Amino acid sequence: MAEEHPTWKVAAVVLFYMAVALVMVMVNKWVLTTSSLPLTFLLLQLIISVICLHALSLLPSTNRFSFRPPRWTRQTIMPVVPVSAANVVGLVFNIYCLKLVDASYFQVARGLTLPMTVVLQSLTTGEKPTMGTIASCGLVTWGFTYSFLPIPVTFLDTIVTESPTVEGVGRSAEAPMLGMIFGVAAAAMIAIHAVLVKGAIKAVEGKTMDLAYWQNVLSVIALLPGMAISGEIPILLRTIGGDEGSLGAFMFGSALTGVVGFLICVAGLLSIKVTSPVTHMFSSAVRSVLQTFLGVYVFADVLNANRIMSVLLILLGSTLYTWFKSRTASPPPAAPKADVEQVEVPLVSDDAEKETTESRKVEV
């Protein structure tokens, strides 16, 4: 029987997860709008996360968060290289997507994560998706394409203006095409990562913190030449010299998001242990709504009927997918003496964020 947790503990974990995820997206967007160093920004985040993981080694071995970094050997590194490569490429696409699109539209730009993951898992495992899964993916796909091929919704037109720009601000309600392309590419890499992570988890003997460590470290190594190729080094030198942007704001944002990125890893592990997939999904839905309104309030993002419908359709499809999966994963109640195999539900991880867990959860 699954362990029952007090309501206050579940609520605390959910609120913690929502808070760190919201801070991550909002601060990321703030730094990206004030600097031209997305890869340097990402590199500093990953370095700080690695430092935080090493700091956990100072905890007593009896502490639940105690972590001992794995040894650097060919046998331990090579099996995690493919999943780490998918991770860092996905992070690069993800951060360029966030730089180009509004914070309120970020989850829509990456909206194809769920359908792509379901299709890829079906191709690799040979398992046919259920009708519920197909319907859920259909809603998510409709939500993604709604901004391009909208069906008029009269009642929303009276709530939100359809004008493409805000007077005096010049902000467009249309998502940049390049940003959407990066979002689709990020979704594809998340889907590939979700498939590769199963083999990687076995390679590290189920130690998710070890896998998180290797992904961060190898991503740092991969991003170093990426900075040189992208031409960010001269911009970084000008920023340090005070000739471009604000070095203080850039370093503060990098430090804050680096620590928050580490906390997201911890929050993800706590969420899996304490909450159910359905609880996690509803908290993600609430977070997406809050993210949309914060994007409007903080960054003056433009909302129109198409954008609102896109967000609602993606939330609905993702929530239905989690509900169908939770019902499928529940053992039948009328077999008390039968040996029932524990089912691992391969759900999708958002985000944009770097979570690696055995049971993947939907992020929207």
pLDDT in tens, 252-264: 999 998 898 888 8
Asked if residues 160 and 305 have their Cβ atoms less than 8 Å apart, the reply is yes
- Residues 227, 47: Cα–Cα separation, whole Å: 14
* Per-residue model confidence (pLDDT) at position 189: 93
232, burial (CB in 10 Å: exposed 0-12, middle 13-18, buried 19+):
buried
Q: How far is CA 242 from CA 38, 236, 248, in A?
A: 18, 10, 10
Contact 294, 103 (CB under 8 A): yes
Q: Using N-to-C axis directions, what is the helix angle for 7-34 and 38-55, rounded to 10°? A: 140
Please check whether residue 125 is in contact with residue 195, taking contact to mean a CB–CB distance below 8 angstroms.
no
Q: What are the tens digits of pLDDT across the range 270-294? A: 665 666 655 665 666 677 778 878 8
For residue 224, which of 27, 19, 8, 46 has the smallest C-alpha distance? 46
Report pTM. 0.78
Question: Distance (Å, rounded) from C-alpha 90 to C-alpha 219?
Answer: 11
What span, in angstroms and rounded, lies between the C-alpha atoms of 107 and 249? 25
Taking CA atoms, 293 is separated from 10, 166, 336, 352, 353, in Å, by 25, 16, 47, 18, 19
Q: Hey, where are the domains in the chain?
A: 7-329
pLDDT of 297 reads: 81
Which 8-state DSSP code applies to residue 275?
Answer: S
Which residues lie across from 172 on neighbouring strands? 165
d(CA 135, CA 155): 25
Among 210, 197, 219, which Cα is nearest to 71's?
210
Instruction: Collect the ranges in the chain with pLDDT lower than 70.
Output: 1-5, 148-175, 268-285, 328-364
Q: What are phi and psi of 136, to 5 degrees?
A: -65, -45
Three-class SS state of 172? strand
Q: What is the DSSP string of 174-225?
A: SPPHHHHHHHHHHHHHHHHHHHHHHHHHHHTTT-HHHHHHHHHHHHHHHHHH
Q: How many CA atoms lie within 13 A of 89 on its CB side?
A: 15
With vertex at residue 328, the alpha carbon angle to CA 327 and CA 332, rounded to the nearest 5 degrees, is: 80
- Percent of the chain that is helix, strand, coil (3-state, to 5): 70, 0, 30
Q: Which residues pair with 165 in a beta bridge?
A: 172
In angstroms and rounded to an integer, the radius of gyration of the C-alpha atoms of the chain is 21
Provide the 10 A C-beta neighbour count for residue 122.
Answer: 13
pLDDT of amino acid 218: 94
Classify residue 304 as exposed, middle or buried by CB count within 10 Å of its CB (0-12, 13-18, 19+). Answer: buried
Question: How many beta carbons lie within 10 A of that of residue 321, not counting itself?
Answer: 27
Residue that the structure tokens 């590290």 belong to: 204
